[in-house]
Amino acid sequence: EEVYVLEGEVRFGPVQLNAGDYLYTPPNGTHAVFSRTGCVMLFMVPDEVEVL
């Protein structure tokens, strides 16, 4: 999956992302997603997402 943060901040596992940041994670990865303040992001996923 690919993530581009447009506004705010978000944490993908141990990685902190802010506005303008980009993150690529390999397929079939597992990670928690959390934001204290909220965010607007572009989230591109090649396959179905399983929410755990």
Over residues 2-49, the pLDDT tens digits come to: 999 999 999 998 999 999 999 998 877 777 899 999 999 998 887 776
User: What is the pLDDT at residue 22?
Assistant: 98
**Residue 4: its pLDDT value, please?**
97
Distance between CA 14 and CA 31 in Å, rounded? 9
DSSP-derived letter for residue 36 is S
The one-letter amino acid at 35 = S
By the 8 A CB rule, do 31 and 52 touch?
no
Question: Of 46, 40, 36, whose CA–CA distance to 4 is shortest?
Answer: 40
Whole-prediction pTM = 0.79
- Give the chain's length: 52
